[in-house]
Amino acid sequence: MSAKKWNVAVVGATGAVGREILTILDERRFPVGDLRLLASARSEGTTIEAFGEEHTVRVLREDSFKGVDIVLSSPGSKVSAQFSPIAAKDGAVVVDNTSHFRMDPLIPLVIPEVNRHDIGMFKNKGIIANPNCSTIQMLVALKPLHDVARIRRIVVSTYQAVSGAGQAGITELETQVRDLFNMREVTQTLFPKRMAFNVIPCVPQKDAFNPDGNTTEEQKMIDETKKIMGDPSIKVSATCVRVPVFNGHSESVNIELERPLSAEAARELLRKAPGVALLDDPKTMLFPTPLDASGEDLVLVGRIREDPTVQYGLNLFVVGDNLRKGAALNAVQIAEELIKHHLGN
């Protein structure tokens, strides 16, 4: 890690991802000099503890980025669209966690374990995009297999926790569960159906469906996979589902390969893969669950087995903490790569 201190701004600091970013910066001893916590006017004056001190949240303004080296940004897409280019123009490198910049061909979309070599592209616009949470954990698990046997097609079904909808999603599930157990009327405001003890085949909550029937979340997984893997020929079919789990996304992933790869060979590759923990012993009921993944930095993989319905195929179950590796941790890892190899000492 660099001995130099870097001035860091966290945009959306009071949100679930913003708070997780602060926790991870502290845990990993990121060399922060001046720390600026930025959010909307309704959060002005809020204090958040980070690095053993209380920091006051400031209102995000166009002049908020003077003297800032790195911006870790997790507001809404519209806010990022306005402010991330301003931060870059002021000389900061922005790691943006929203969907707004991900498919811009001049902006790198990065998972360090998969395509860290693309980070240098930030010089085009001063912005690096953080991928969708579901895409991140899936590709951390699939990249080692792709390098050996080349993936031709992916069929993925996700089981996404309510924390993917932010603190509001967590609160709505918790409130509904309490209301049900106390024989009170259940209300819903965020999700299109009751979330408690239910499964909703629709992520996100609003403006979900495209004309072809895919949701915007499913389309993100399709498009981002091709860009991050650098292979537009990979076919991806995704079904994204919200489940009544507080934190931790799960994915059932089926892949069709160009070359043979046994289940055991896949396990050996994943045992050695960066960012992966293999939990795969059905005889002892060892397999990953969201509870196992919550609070963990690694992507957990299990239930690996060969798919006999195609010439070369595998099934996997992939689980990750969507607030950590799926968002905050990936952003901080990108920032670490920046200061090690791209911004100098």
Q: What are phi and psi of 296, to 5 degrees?
A: -100, 145
Strand ranges across the sheet with 313-320: 235-242, 151-160, 249-257, 313-320, 299-306, 276-278
- The answer, yes or no, to whether the previous bond of 290 is cis (omega within 30 of 0) is no
Give the 3-state secondary structure of residue 272.
coil
55, 100, 133, 240: the active-site residue: 133
290 burial type by CB count under 10 A (0-12 exposed, 13-18 middle, 19+ buried): buried
Respond yes or no: is residue 133 known to be catalytic: yes
117, 146, 249, 342: the active-site residue: 249
Amino acid letter, 73? S
Place of tokens 């910066």: 25
Other CB atoms within 10 A of residue 28 CB: 15
- Give CA–CA dist 232/193, Å, rounded: 35
Nearest partner of 109 among 344, 341, 331, judged by Cα: 331
SS (H, E, C) 225-246: HHHHHCCCCCEEEEEEEECCCC
- Give CA–CA dist 154/57, Å, rounded: 42
20 burial type by CB count under 10 A (0-12 exposed, 13-18 middle, 19+ buried): buried
Sign, Cα dihedral of 220, 223, 225, 228: negative
- Tell me the residue length of the chain: 345
**Token output for 97:** 């966690």
- Give CA–CA dist 39/165, Å, rounded: 18
Respond yes or no: is residue 249 known to be catalytic: yes
Please identify every residue annotated as catalytic.
133, 249
